[in-house]
Structure 1
Amino acid sequence: MRLPTAISVPYLSLLDRYILRQMIQPFVVGFGIFTAIAAVIGTVFYLIRNMVENNLGIFSAVQVFFLRLPTFAVLGIPMAVLFGALLAYSQLSRRSELIACTSCGVSPVRLIRPALMAGFLALILTFGLNELVAPPLAYRAIQTLRTAIGQPVPTYHPKNIFYRRFADGQLQQLFFAHTFDGRVMGEVTVLNFQNGELREILRAEAAEWQGAVWIFRRGALYRLNPAQDYEAVEPFGERYFAYPRTPLDLAQETRDPEFMTSREMYHHSQILAESGDMKRLRQWQVQLQEKLSLPFVCVGFALIGAVLGISSPRQGQGRAFGLSVAIIFGYYVVSFIFTAFGEGGAVSPIVASWLPKTVVTAIGIGMLHHANQH
């Protein structure tokens, strides 16, 4: 292989283009394999069970499957980057092309540049799919499935709406509504606290959000003194209260984190923070950080795959696939453990989500440094 002055081109040299071309085919093969495996495990068995137990039609099942594919493609891209880099560099090394490069003074650090380019491109693609494409299509898939089996997804919580509000570590308000029809809450009770003591009890047959305030209808406001005795009762037919909109936001949000963009997840986590539900808040914060950090594993996988390919020239397609599976399995085991730690409060959500990706990248850098020394 000839290596003319194109090596010194600062952006995309002949060497870069050549190695990137070698990565395309194994990347496509790996993407297809890993996405198919994730889809089979994640949705095919579930769809088959619904076809048997709930009479899900074949057309609806196929529609749900394709709507869910972007979600599994998000998982398949990092795996395919690892497999593509590992196999491409192994083949180049086995054909002594990398030896020719190093004999011309090209270092391993320079050789892995195309793999890093591929990793960054995969990062952008993964982020775009995970943020813009997968969440709405996944939500549409679950709506299609539930409608097909006669269990439509509700657009709001129909009963038992519960909200707590804290300020400076003290409970300020408890809001409970027995029913909700999407617009009006029924049988509402609000407890207002001051300095940790109950000072007001509001009960109403109905409550409706109007612009910036709540309209409570057919109820009464009970005021309590510091001794917790009733000092006044104020019946009303209709009355306005400047309570927060948060109970309505909680009632109208029925989606899981996987059906939301990171911005929507952040907004909902802010609502949970106001409600004082720390357990659910930690879960949502961990899921948010997972969504943001997942694309970055593409760079670490590309680096590890390239260095392993340079160091292990005898990797065939089968052995490369097996090694990729082993690395991916190890990564996800560690990731699941740290996710559990994060949701349990043992570590912060940022550490739980970002540390495994950082470790993968650090391992790749360490391997590259070792290869560069030899």
Structure 2
Amino acid sequence: MPAIARPLQKMPWQLRVSLLDRYILREMIRPFVFGFGVFTAIAAVIGTVFYLIRNMVEHNLGILSALQVFFLRLPTFAVLGIPMAMLFGSLLAYSQLSRRSELIAWKSCGVSPLRLVRPALLAGFCALLFTFALNELVAPPMAYRAIQTLEAAIQRPQPSFQTNNIFYRRFAEGQLRQLFFAHRFDGKVMGEVTVVNFEQGQLQEIITAKEAEWQGRAWLFRQGTYHRLRRDRDYDVAETFSERRFAYPRTPLELALETRAPEFMTSREIYHYLQILAESGDAKRLRQWRVQLQEKLSLPFLCLSFALVGAVLGISSPRQGQGRAFGLSVAIIFGYYFGAFIFTAFGEGGAVSPILASWLPKVIVGAIALGMLYHANRH
């Protein structure tokens, strides 16, 4: 019987739990760190290194700038690596305990598999909190800074706003109320603006202007024409103006200013942007961003599901070495992401709801792990 098992029988219950938890957690640290390094490195190579090498060849990107971009992008790949490392760490740790017959010894002392997986769940919960914080506070701003650094280094800076063809539709009570279009935008002033207003489905106003600028509470249109139509589509009012204010929503400006991808935004920023998109009536884009928001919120919970899967597999499967554990982890991860990709496509296409598309794969993994744990606990 292992040395750890003998004193466990003589200690109080609470102390026995603490020692057991700490012992198993200590066994998980080394494979977790190894898996975190390997999986993060793989994600970084696939996601950034090849792209940086191509820019170094095609656009003379300097090695120092490439390294800066690489390290700025690392938190994004670390977010992906933590759940994978939890799977590998728990699987290998419990397999090693099984190989040394320690799991058998603890089971003979009355310790159930349900009790044995508790340290893995504790580690998974801690990883969940860390992943959520990293994905919200660190990864988005650093990833956005990486893109800006890259564009500046290759002398191809991209503006932080949409420069051409700003188009906005506003709906109210299921009816189209306004079309807003601007040919160009310099970050402050929109040029060649056309606004078409509707009332109860009927065309009501047409405003064209050489430029338009947001003035805090309303739009200031300059050098334009104003047309108001009657129900018979004939002009009721037609006039020109040098300057005129219109109390239209600020939404077209907000849409033009926000050009970042979801990975460069926090969930709070995505939620705010969704409120803007909801007014525009762009159903396809709205679905895509809702799926991305749910993906960002649900990803940390994968740490908990993978930790449980690894622990149960380590307890119930044959004894495995590091190579087999790594191979099994890769197979599970590939299967999960393949299924998650399909659900994401369904969510963005409107076949299923964004919440279902993002959360169901994690729930399925957790449900499978719970079923395996129930089976192991009965035998």
Provide the residue aligned with 2:93 in structure 1.
Answer: 88
Alignment partner of 1:112 is 2:117: yes
Aligned to 1:258, the other structure's residue is in SS state helix
Provide the residue aligned with 2:309 in structure 1.
Answer: 304
Provide the residue aligned with 1:57 in structure 2.
Answer: 62
Whether the 8 Å CA contact 1:7–1:15 is kept in 2: the answer is: no
Matched to 1:13, the amino acid is S
Provide the residue aligned with 2:31 in structure 1.
Answer: 26
**Pair 6,109 (structure 1): closer, same or farther in 2 beyond 3 Å:** farther
Provide the residue aligned with 2:108 in structure 1.
Answer: 103
Distance 2:318 2:209 in 1: 75
Shift of 1:221: 1.2
Alignment partner of 1:236 is 2:254: no
Shift of 1:366: 0.3
Match for residue 285 of structure 1 among 287, 290, 297:
290
Whether the 8 Å CA contact 1:6–1:14 is kept in 2: the answer is: no
Provide the residue aligned with 1:202 in structure 2.
Answer: 207
| Aligned residue-pair number | 374
Aligned to 1:13, the other structure's residue is in SS state helix
Deviation sequence 1:123-169 (CA, Å, 0-9, x none): 01110111110000000001111111111121111121110000111
Shift of 1:250: 0.7
Match for residue 42 of structure 1 among 38, 47, 51:
47
Shift of 1:5: 5.7
Aligned to 2:162, the other structure's residue is in SS state coil
Shift of 1:229: 1.3
Match for residue 16 of structure 1 among 12, 21, 31:
21
Whether the 8 Å CA contact 1:81–1:119 is kept in 2: the answer is: yes
Provide the residue aligned with 2:192 in structure 1.
Answer: 187
Match for residue 362 of structure 1 among 358, 367, 372:
367
Matched to 2:319, the amino acid is R
Alignment partner of 1:373 is 2:371: no
Matched to 2:369, the amino acid is G
Matched to 2:113, the amino acid is P
Matched ranges for 1:112-261 at <5 A: 112-261=117-266
Whether the 8 Å CA contact 1:286–1:339 is kept in 2: the answer is: yes
Shift of 1:7: 6.8
Distance 1:162 1:229 in 2: 26
Distance 1:270 1:92 in 2: 51
Distance 1:259 1:286 in 2: 15
Shift of 1:4: 3.9
Shift of 1:72: 0.3
Deviation sequence 1:10-30 (CA, Å, 0-9, x none): 896100000000000000000
For normalisation by structure 1, the TM-score amounts to 0.98
Percentage of pairs with the same residue: 75
Matched ranges for 1:329-340 at <5 A: 329-340=334-345
Match for residue 274 of structure 2 among 266, 269, 272:
269
Shift of 1:180: 1.0
Aligned to 2:255, the other structure's residue is in SS state helix
Distance 1:7 1:186 in 2: 77
Alignment partner of 1:346 is 2:356: no
Unaligned runs of 5+ in 1: none
Distance 1:277 1:237 in 2: 33
Distance 2:163 2:378 in 1: 65
- Higher mean alpha-carbon deviation, 31-40 vs 151-160, is at 151-160
Whether the 8 Å CA contact 1:224–1:232 is kept in 2: the answer is: yes
Distance 2:160 2:57 in 1: 27
**Pair 355,211 (structure 1): closer, same or farther in 2 beyond 3 Å:** same
Provide the residue aligned with 1:66 in structure 2.
Answer: 71
Shift of 1:235: 2.0
Unaligned runs of 5+ in 2: none
Distance 1:275 1:7 in 2: 63
Aligned to 1:240, the other structure's residue is in SS state strand
Distance 2:17 2:149 in 1: 45
Shift of 1:313: 4.2
